[in-house]
């Protein structure tokens, strides 16, 4: 029997989990007057804290990126489908940004598979998608990650042997002032991110 860990955003309906590629949908979809191309979160709220270590062992905290747009996603190295696409698309968007805007965005990927996401595997995973040096991939123990998943409304489905069977595959857009502004489903396009980074960085 699969164990399901799931927390639901009160406004944004996080989709039911199905395999690895479960993604969030929105009850109140739409592009607002802000011009953002993600699905708008209303009301906005301060992004929950994240304080973990990246795969190189360096401490990383969300608050240190105030003044920048931040994109936060939850993935794992052994994901067979959606996670590689999300990471590749985020890296592609970062490459397409002008030099000035690329300096004003930070991409954070947080593991949902702390038992198997080793630093070496993460490095290889990022390098294979031209994402090495373009985003921080954050690791931690199950105890450290559970409150992060809960605060960010990330559902994780555990299968036999506590292997990941599914998870919420979305990307959060965080403003420079640290507020959760919108989310992108797993099939977002790099062009949407390129369009939205200046808007998030100015907010």
pLDDT at 135: 96
pLDDT at 42: 85
pLDDT at 159: 67
The pTM (predicted TM-score) of the whole model is 0.84
pLDDT at 156: 78
CATH number at residue 101: 3.40.30.10
List phi, psi (to 5°) of 171. Answer: -125, 130
List, run by run, the mean pLDDT of 10-residue segments along the chain (203 residues): 35 40 40 76 91 97 97 94 95 96 97 94 97 96 93 80 71 97 94 96 91
User: Distance (Å, rounded) from C-alpha 196 to C-alpha 188?
Assistant: 12
Is residue 105 a contact partner of residue 94, using CB atoms and an 8 Å limit?
yes
Tell me which residue range forms the domain holding 57.
3-202
Coil, helix or strand for 162?
helix
Total domains in the chain come to 1
List phi, psi (to 5°) of 136. Answer: -100, 130
């Amino acid at each position: 029997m699969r164990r399901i860990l799931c927390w639901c955003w009160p406004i944004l309906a996080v989709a039911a989990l199905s395999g690895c590629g479960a993604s969030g949908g929105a009850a109140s979809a739409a592009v607002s007057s802000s011009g953002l191309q993600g699905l708008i979160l209303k009301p906005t709220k301060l992004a929950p804290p994240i304080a973990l270590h990246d795969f190189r062992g360096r401490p990383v905290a969300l608050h240190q990126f105030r003044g920048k747009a931040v994109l936060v996603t939850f993935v794992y190295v052994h994901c067979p489908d959606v996670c590689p696409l999300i990471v590749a698309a985020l890296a592609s968007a970062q490459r397409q940004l002008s030099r000035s805007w690329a300096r004003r965005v930070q991409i954070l990927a947080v593991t949902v598979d702390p038992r198997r996401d080793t630093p070496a595997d993460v490095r290889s995973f990022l390098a294979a998608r031209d994402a090495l040096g373009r985003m921080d991939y954050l690791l931690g123990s199950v105890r450290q990650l559970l409150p992060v998943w809960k605060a960010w409304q990330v559902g994780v489905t555990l299968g036999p042997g506590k292997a990941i069977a599914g998870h919420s595959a979305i990307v959060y857009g965080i403003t420079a002032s640290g507020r959760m502004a919108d989310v992108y489903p797993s099939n977002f396009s790099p062009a949407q991110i390129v369009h939205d980074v200046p808007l998030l960085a100015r907010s």
